[in-house]
Amino acid sequence: MKIPLITSIADLPPALKASVTPEEKACIKKLSGTNSLPLAVTPHFASLAGPHPGDPLRRQFMPSRNEFDPDAFALADPLGEARYRKTSRLVHQYRDRALLLAGGSCAGYCRFCFRRVRMSGGPGFINRIEIAEACAYLERHSEIREILISGGDPLTADNAALEQLMAALGKARPGMVLRICTRTPVTWPQRFSAKTIGLFAKHKPIRVMVHINHLRELEEEGGVSAGQILKSLVEAGIPVHVQTVLLKGINDSAKTLADLFRACLDLGLSPYYLFQLDLAPGSAHFRVPLKTGLKIYRDLGSLISGLALPSYAVDLPGGGGKIRLYDNVIVREEERPAGNVYLLADAGGKLWEYPVN
Ligand code: SF4
């Protein structure tokens, strides 16, 4: 499926094109043609972005020289998914749910991507043999009740490929919940035709897990918006859960987050997770210090209702799994050669490290 992507400065909307600094030009050139997230943004998302270098949408796709700064805490596989890989595409870390890495690309590259190292140049959409392998595993593991279909972004495959995948999963494990993990409603809402929504509705139980970071990502451009698409999904009986990454300089204030989550609730979406940033290479400049994140979350709780409040969580670096973050979550602080770290406990009490800054 042809994804509409802008990959060169010349093709950016005029105001954005004029705003690219010499430093950014150098970064774009350096990343061009590499497997390290070159510039790629959809015309829709680019049109929503403003030209100011600090614009919260622009910062999400415009390469910056900070990506080349050394980060002693960076991990090539921040979530430790390789440890739990059971078939070529299936990761089984939590007892009752599994992750299917179905698609190799995205409708635009986020500069903070947690799968940065294997995102660009990764494998294409899951093929029949890989689907059969995953289904055989699912048939043997009846404890798995939910399958997260992620990628890249599965919506970069066409409807026929999605139908084939969803039908095979439904046949292997009738009643298993399909969780479609996607940012496409935000970056490429035109992808969601009535047929696509109908396809999802046909494969219930299904849930859409959408990645949204800022209120402005829901705005209309050229007669289409993420807000309309997500509302249509809800109206078709498809629950939509919102996942947000806490990002320095983009959404790191209680007010900005409150505005986003209130708007989501108004559309019928459920704010689900606010994620502390994973330790992907080249993304440290987006990392909000953990104690600042806890303060923002506390303030956020006083601004919005419980219905609009997602859980604040982190994937413990290196494969410790997801834990919720709250005021007493830090066990202690210790020194390391790379800098100070907090020790955080997983569900079993094992301690994992997360950088202080
Ligand atoms: S949409 Fe998700 S997987 Fe794709 S580049 Fe952005 S963060 Fe990475």
More confident residue, 124 or 146: 146
More confident residue, 164 or 123: 164
Residues 6+ apart with CB under 8 A from 174: none
Residues 6+ apart with CB under 8 A from 151: 101, 102, 103, 104, 105, 106, 181
Residue 66 in 3-state DSSP?
A: helix
Q: What is the pLDDT of residue 252?
A: 98
Nearest residue by C-alpha to atom 7 in ligand 1:
113
Q: Comparing C-alpha atoms, which of 164, 172, 241 is closest to residue 208?
A: 241
Contacts 24+ apart (CB under 8 A), 172-176: 172/135, 172/136, 172/138, 172/139, 173/135, 173/138, 173/139, 173/142, 173/144, 173/147, 175/205, 176/138, 176/144, 176/145, 176/146, 176/147, 176/205
d(CA 257, CA 303): 10
> What confidence tens digit (pLDDT) does each residue in 46-102 have?
999 999 999 999 999 999 999 999 999 999 888 888 889 999 999 999 999 999 999
Residue 181, ligand 1, Cβ within 6 A: no
Q: What is the pLDDT of residue 35?
A: 78
Q: Is the pLDDT of residue 123 over 80?
A: no
Q: Give 109 Cα–ligand 1 centroid separation in angstroms.
A: 6
> What confidence tens digit (pLDDT) does each residue in 167-223 have?
999 999 999 999 999 999 999 999 999 999 999 999 999 999 999 999 999 999 999
Q: What is the pLDDT of residue 121?
A: 55
d(CA 340, CA 337): 8
Q: Is the pLDDT of residue 1 over 90?
A: no
Q: Tell me what the mean pLDDT of segment 327-331 comes to.
A: 88
Q: Is the pLDDT of residue 293 over 70?
A: yes
Phi, then psi, of 105 in degrees rounded to 5:
-135, 180
* Cβ-based neighbour number of residue 256 at 10 Å: 18
Whether 56 and 216 have beta carbons less than 8 Å apart is answered as: yes
Whether 236 and 204 have beta carbons less than 8 Å apart is answered as: no
Share of the chain above pLDDT 70, in %: 98
Q: What is the pLDDT of residue 218?
A: 98
Q: Return the C-alpha torsion angle 286, 287, 289, 290, nearest 10.
A: 140
Q: Across the strands, what pairs with 101?
A: 150
Q: Is the pLDDT of residue 17 over 80?
A: yes
Average pLDDT over all residues of the chain = 95
Q: What is the pLDDT of residue 117?
A: 57
> What confidence tens digit (pLDDT) does each residue in 229-255 have?
999 999 999 999 999 999 999 999 999
Question: Which domains, from first to last, does the chain contain?
Answer: 74-324 (3.20.20.70)
Q: What is the pLDDT of residue 115?
A: 80
Nearest residue by C-alpha to atom 3 in ligand 1:
152
Nearest residue by C-alpha to atom 1 in ligand 1:
183
Burial class of residue 265 in the structure, from the number of CB atoms within 10 Å of its CB (0-12 exposed, 13-18 middle, 19+ buried)? middle
Give the pLDDT band of residue 348 (cuts 50, 70, 90).
confident
Residue 153, ligand 1, Cβ within 6 A: yes
Atom of ligand 1 lying closest to residue 108 CA: 5
Q: What is the pLDDT of residue 16?
A: 98
Q: Give 153 Cα–ligand 1 centroid separation in angstroms.
A: 7
Radius of gyration of the chain (CA): 20
Residue 5, ligand 1, Cβ within 6 A: no
Nearest residue by C-alpha to atom 6 in ligand 1:
110
Residue 352, ligand 1, Cβ within 6 A: no
Give the pLDDT band of residue 103 (cuts 50, 70, 90).
confident
Q: Is the pLDDT of residue 26 over 70?
A: yes
Residue 104, ligand 1, Cβ within 6 A: no
Q: Tell me what the mean pLDDT of segment 282-287 comes to.
A: 96
Q: Across the strands, what pairs with 352?
A: 344
